[in-house]
Amino acid sequence: MDRVILHCDMNGFFASVELLDYPELRNKPMAVCGNPENRHGIILAKNEIAKKYGVVTAETLWQARKKCPALQVVPPHHSKYKHYSKLINDIYLRFTDMVEPFSVDESWLDVTASRQLFGTGREIADIIRETVKNELGLTLSVGVSFNKIFAKMGSDYKKPDATTEITRDNFRSILWPLDIHEMFFVGNATARRLNECGIKTIGELALSDKKMITSMLGKQGGVIHDYANGLDTTPVLRFNEQEKVKSIGNGTTFRRNLQGEKDIRTAVTGLSDTVASRLRNHRMKAFGVKVDIKDPAFKVISRQQQLDNPTNLTDIIADTAMSIIRKSWRMRDSIRMLTITAINLCDENQAQQLSLFSDENVLAEKGEKVERAMDDIRKKFGTDAIKFGSVIDNDIGLDQ
């Protein structure tokens, strides 16, 4: 018996959540956009009206306003989106415990075992859409299929507020005529290579020689060939059994370019604090630190360094990042964007080497107690309730 998989995709999620607080913008073209004064003027989401003007996600505000001069913009509120994401997934969990979030606004659900209680896959999808609309005032599109890939493509097929069912009987007529760009996991570069070989639609990919596609694109070529033919047995994970994160990072484009070691240290401390806090929240530590630097000419370098012992402490992450920067960057050169990432993660309780110097062990324990106390204060009073002194009143646009 086939599985019944749903892919639920919120419609214009950030914009829809903001419209709950800005109902006066509901019938106007609007978008969620970063602050242009902080050089974050990028469109993050838009409503359906703005979409009709050609406004697209990831373009700059000035590009969007050339298409739509009347575009209204509001700033993003990521904590609000996380809150609504939790509420939405809580609704999904009423129907099945097999709920696998794919992003803040997308989730897969395996409702194979839920049909005796709630009806067919399509019926469950429609009930979920109505429930989310009635309880939260938001809309979503749902794909219903026998595997995760086609369920995802079904949710993309018709928007907004729609259910699309892709079955073994109809997937060739629905999906195969689509442009190869519409195939999940086929990016622009892959699409170009396939086009060069005369493969322009999903159906042409499905009917092509798998060995030829694999020789051209490597292992991933064989994977997308299988996907185009409906061959995907990837399971939906239970909500409480999600895969461990593989890295945790934080980066930003600064209000002004960083100039000199003091600026860089301020930025590194603020970013490292967030990374360390997220590590502790996930109950993990990092065996390595990676730094990505972008200069004003948009040149990017990436360097990393391994640690003798895993850590989730700000000072150690920041000191390691500064060591990386000093070794690989001329400190007098300007920095436009900086990202600090904790890599090679492990469980926080994993055994580690004890230092020969007992003072180092004591300092590490004290540091962890202090930073966990900071975590508790932030949970109770907000993320801005306590900061490292060097980050307070910075003028580089660094938000904790």
- Per the listing, tokens 């600064």 go with 254
Provide the pLDDT for residue 376.
66
Q: Which residues pair with 8 in a beta bridge?
A: 107, 142
- With a CB cutoff of 8 Å and minimum separation 6, the contacts of 400 are 270, 273, 274, 383, 384, 387, 391
Q: Among candidates 44, 36, 179, which has minimal Cα distance to 105?
A: 44
Any idea which of 16-30, 75-89, 108-122, 340-354 has the lowest mean pLDDT?
340-354
Whether 204 sits among the annotated catalytic residues: the reply is no
Is residue 138 within 8 A of residue 15, CB to CB? The reply is no
* Statement: residue 35 has pLDDT above 90: no
Provide the pLDDT for residue 349.
73
Q: Which residues pair with 338 in a beta bridge?
A: 252, 293
Provide the pLDDT for residue 358.
41
Provide the pLDDT for residue 399.
54
* Statement: residue 207 has pLDDT above 80: yes
Q: What is the pTM of this model?
A: 0.67
- φ/ψ of 384, rounded to 5, equals -90, 5
Q: 362 falls in which pLDDT band (50, 70, 90)?
A: very low
Any idea which of 53-62, 134-143, 389-398 has the lowest mean pLDDT?
389-398
Task: Give percent above pLDDT 70 in the chain.
Answer: 86
Calculated CA dihedral for residues 308, 313, 316, 317, nearest 10 degrees: 100
Provide the pLDDT for residue 59.
87
- SS3 call for 82: helix
Q: 396 falls in which pLDDT band (50, 70, 90)?
A: confident
Q: Among candidates 14, 190, 30, which has minimal Cα distance to 104?
A: 14
* Statement: residue 391 has pLDDT above 70: no
Give the C-alpha separation, 301 to 338, whole Å.
10
- DSSP letter for each residue of 232-276: --PPPPPGGGPPPPS-EEEEEEEEEEE-HHHHHHHHHHHHHHHHH
- φ/ψ of 23, rounded to 5, equals -60, -25
* Statement: residue 74 has pLDDT above 80: yes
List b or e across 307-317, with b for residues whose CB sees 16 or more CB atoms inside 10 angstroms. beebbbbbbbb
Calculated CA dihedral for residues 56, 61, 63, 67, nearest 10 degrees: 70
* Statement: residue 67 has pLDDT above 80: yes
Q: Span 289-310, mean pLDDT?
A: 91
Q: Is the dihedral of CA 212, 215, 219, 220 positive or negative?
A: negative
Maximum mean pLDDT: which of 157-171, 178-192, 345-359? 157-171
Give the C-alpha separation, 64 to 82, whole Å.
26
Provide the pLDDT for residue 378.
60
Give the C-alpha separation, 370 to 275, whole Å.
16
Any idea which of 89-103, 156-170, 349-363 has the lowest mean pLDDT?
349-363
* Statement: residue 134 has pLDDT above 80: yes
Rg (CA), the chain: 24
- Per the listing, tokens 């020969």 go with 356
| Annotated catalytic residue within 18, 106, 165, 371 | 106
Any idea which of 149-163, 216-230, 306-320, 363-377 has the lowest mean pLDDT?
363-377
Token output for 367: 């540091």
- With a CB cutoff of 8 Å and minimum separation 6, the contacts of 97 are 238, 239, 240
